[in-house]
Structure 1
């Protein structure tokens, strides 16, 4: 049986109070609508159609290559939204799942279970339901004695007996595709909102003798719809827990999983330890046997095996095996730290490669540079790469020694086995085995204190 998925993503989401369209808000590194589309892809559908309206071009850009699109000119309800896909779907044999783009927590497993239940029951329509701890505000599922769905009763329309039901409509449905579009033609808008409701299709099908059923999923939390920032935070917390538990099942240790924020696309190897208050985002890859301590932030970076990151920030950077950094250091874009290198505290590296076993101990800036292996960079060294107009490159060869407090003014080349004396300002190339000393001669001015105005009021203590 062919399978199709329709995702409703045309609404603006006024309650979000945002310039960003609702379905484009992110949950753990992926927009809400991407979460829904990716869950739908897990059912191996023959076609995914996303209904767009507000922010159509932005939604299309995010989902490019993942979905076809249909445009809803006016937001006239869920029935009208699904009808927008008529030209793409109405004549096709098969089953159609309908979901909304603001429900990012549904899994492929749940969607597959819904398809399976719909197919095995011979239903024309199957509603995905759940038992809600507090069903207030949700549409209630009213069944007959055989478990068939009679109707969905909204909060404002229910009797006390109906509102006592705790089985709720999650907003996800599975339909016989051709019967869905035939029924949609009969949906009216004689209601307080003047809209065409998808839920009316169930009543139309039932009255025509077709079978309407339900599949109750066990995990109510998946049904959370995001309409405001409070729900967005709730969805993020649930997704964060789901992601961290999956990593733990794969052999990652979390010291405090409740405070470790990991995006959904992050990969982490086994026997890595993640402490609390760590943020790992984007397409970051972290190897095995790493230790990432409290307060670290890693974005779109690649970290090898056996790496220690101590309270530091990595952004679009790379750390190879057996390296370490921190505390309080920063790898900016295009920083590459080769195997065995040490980056100490209060070090900033940008667009620079640090060679194998090179040590950049502390209080140093390395920008636009290539450093070889087994180099020692002394405390307080500055690679001065910017002249106010252009940026220039510095190269330092293997086994070089850069003394503390030095400034290397690019463009410059320091050869293998060269030495830079402490507190030197280097503006010329340094050859192999040479030492460069560039500092002013020390001069002591005798009795200078007594020439100062202060000296008349205060003597040495």
Structure 2
């Protein structure tokens, strides 16, 4: 959730991410690894962590939904096709062509295991280069319930053997050390070992884990690195697991926000985006939701039930309750929007305010201006968007419609209920209302006539 200074690993590094599964349990037309957590595809979370290791190559092994991955990655990684899907070992083999000229370390990750930390990845690579030089380093973990995970039988950190759950004996299933599937392997070892993997097992598949047993059989002891955080290797295969991953991410982010000096009145009700930036002495009331692209400066108050996306709030701003800030909304220092105010692609100047029931779209509001309740900027003519410019200290009366493109001058006043379609000069008063028609006694006569009519209809 926080960035770090880029520290390249040595020797050179390649990343192979397995993402060829159909994701049938997700029951979605969207590729499993593109489902978002905190507003960002889970694959992007993983790529962000891996990028801090400065890899020379990134290869994503795809099968079902390859076109979606190609669009999402937009050339940032090589796509290797696995067709048909014959197991994890077979999947990694599909990266051979992309890495044929590469010499260095290869880190094997999974697209549906998005929260492996940079520190954990580094620990695997560091273990690969210790004095005993294991050919393969496996990331292990010890969950409360080992479920269907493959097991790692080890003496210290040296692996004696690995076994998939379906092929394990009852004794092996009692082992608490489980295989995450993540590995670090030298390039000169990986594909040579994979070429020797067979499929004589319960699934009839080529298991990646067999490279450990093959290397051990050659007398080359492999090693395990154990993470003490089982959450970082939790796979996401169904909607329920996606929701659990979101909940864990949000819980960590809330704690970080409070540690950084923000007050969350009801933390469990606040939802952050992956890139939300928050200053100190910020107060966030219940049920505030952040979409992507929000930056909050120091001393801001976000009242309950507000929704922000693509917005920038400078120091001392106050919004809500029930405010909606859409992309391009910029609130300058000490400005305010109140209940049921929506802003989109608009700037609210320093100290300006729009306290009630207002829409500001494609607008520039000057410092100290006051926008009355029910005011809207009419920015769309059915074909094009147009801009409204409101000068410093201007006063816009309630229930006004500013029909863009239009400019309201500094210190100008627009009378309540006006529909303004022409520019208003500095210091000018503009009233745009139909002349009031007054008919004394008309309402009394109307009521008398209608009451008589109603009475006549009720007679038998």
The question of a shared fold, defined as TM-score above 0.5 by the shorter chain, is answered with: yes
Aligned position for 2:57: 47
Question: 3-state SS of the aligned residue for 1:182?
Answer: helix
After the TM superposition, which residues 410-425 of structure 1 pair with which residues of structure 2 at under 5 Å, given as runs?
A: 410=421, 412-421=422-431, 424-425=432-433
Provide the C-alpha distance between the structure 2 equivalents of 1:256 and 1:170, rounded to a whole number of angstroms: 35
Q: 1:452 to 1:149 in 2, by over 3 A?
A: farther
After the TM superposition, which residues 77-156 of structure 1 pair with which residues of structure 2 at under 5 Å, given as runs?
A: 77-120=87-130, 121-143=132-154, 145-156=155-166
Structure 1: any 5+ residue segments left out of the alignment? 386-391, 426-437
Within the candidate set 388, 392, 411, 1:399 is matched to 411
Q: 1:218 to 1:449 in 2, by over 3 A?
A: same
Question: Is the CA contact (8 Å cut-off) linking 1:132 and 1:168 kept in structure 2?
Answer: yes
Within the candidate set 257, 269, 272, 2:282 is matched to 272
Question: Is the CA contact (8 Å cut-off) linking 2:412 and 2:428 kept in structure 1?
Answer: yes
Q: CA deviation at 1:237?
A: 0.9
After the TM superposition, which residues 333-348 of structure 1 pair with which residues of structure 2 at under 5 Å, given as runs?
A: 334-348=345-359
Question: 3-state SS of the aligned residue for 1:238?
Answer: helix
Q: Deviations over 1:19-59 (max 9, x none)?
A: 10101100112111111111111122222211122222321
Within the candidate set 429, 437, 440, 1:444 is matched to 440
Question: 3-state SS of the aligned residue for 2:242?
Answer: helix
Q: CA deviation at 1:302?
A: 1.4
Q: Deviations over 1:373-412 (max 9, x none)?
A: 11112222223x4xxxxxx41211111112222222x3x2
Provide the C-alpha distance between the structure 2 equivalents of 1:187 and 1:40, rounded to a whole number of angstroms: 27
Aligned position for 1:379: 398
Question: Is the CA contact (8 Å cut-off) linking 1:91 and 1:178 kept in structure 2?
Answer: no
Aligned position for 1:328: 340
Q: CA deviation at 1:351?
A: 1.3
Provide the C-alpha distance between the structure 2 equivalents of 1:147 and 1:9, rounded to a whole number of angstroms: 29
Q: CA deviation at 1:456?
A: 4.3
Within the candidate set 152, 156, 176, 1:166 is matched to 176
Question: Is the CA contact (8 Å cut-off) linking 2:163 and 2:209 kept in structure 1?
Answer: no
Question: 3-state SS of the aligned residue for 1:57?
Answer: helix
Provide the C-alpha distance between the structure 2 equivalents of 1:70 and 1:15, rounded to a whole number of angstroms: 23
Provide the C-alpha distance between the structure 2 equivalents of 1:49 and 1:79, rounded to a whole number of angstroms: 15
Aligned position for 2:451: 454
Provide the C-alpha distance between the structure 1 equivalents of 2:196 and 2:313, rounded to a whole number of angstroms: 58
Provide the C-alpha distance between the structure 1 equivalents of 2:156 and 2:250, rounded to a whole number of angstroms: 39
Q: Deviations over 1:54-102 (max 9, x none)?
A: 2223212222353233222322211111111101224533211100001
Structure 2: any 5+ residue segments left out of the alignment? 1-10, 380-387
Within the candidate set 34, 37, 41, 1:27 is matched to 37
Aligned position for 1:247: 257
Question: 3-state SS of the aligned residue for 2:179?
Answer: strand
Question: 3-state SS of the aligned residue for 2:427?
Answer: coil
Provide the C-alpha distance between the structure 1 equivalents of 2:39 and 2:16, rounded to a whole number of angstroms: 23
Provide the C-alpha distance between the structure 2 equivalents of 1:450 and 1:301, rounded to a whole number of angstroms: 53
Q: 1:287 to 1:456 in 2, by over 3 A?
A: same
Q: 1:275 to 1:451 in 2, by over 3 A?
A: closer
Figure out how many residues of one structure are paired with residues of the other and give that number. 434
Provide the C-alpha distance between the structure 2 equivalents of 1:155 and 1:187, rounded to a whole number of angstroms: 18
Provide the C-alpha distance between the structure 2 equivalents of 1:365 and 1:267, rounded to a whole number of angstroms: 29
Within the candidate set 366, 373, 376, 1:365 is matched to 376
Provide the C-alpha distance between the structure 1 equivalents of 2:121 and 2:449, rounded to a whole number of angstroms: 83
Within the candidate set 188, 207, 212, 1:197 is matched to 207
Provide the C-alpha distance between the structure 2 equivalents of 1:51 and 1:129, rounded to a whole number of angstroms: 22
Question: Is the CA contact (8 Å cut-off) linking 2:194 and 2:211 kept in structure 1?
Answer: yes
Q: Deviations over 1:191-238 (max 9, x none)?
A: 343322111111111111222110001111111111000000011111
Q: Which moved more, 1:117-126 or 1:94-103?
A: 117-126
Question: Is the CA contact (8 Å cut-off) linking 1:105 and 1:239 kept in structure 2?
Answer: no
Question: Is the CA contact (8 Å cut-off) linking 1:90 and 1:181 kept in structure 2?
Answer: no
Q: Deviations over 1:274-299 (max 9, x none)?
A: 22211111111111110112111101
Within the candidate set 221, 232, 236, 1:222 is matched to 232
Q: CA deviation at 1:326?
A: 1.2
Q: 1:194 to 1:222 in 2, by over 3 A?
A: same
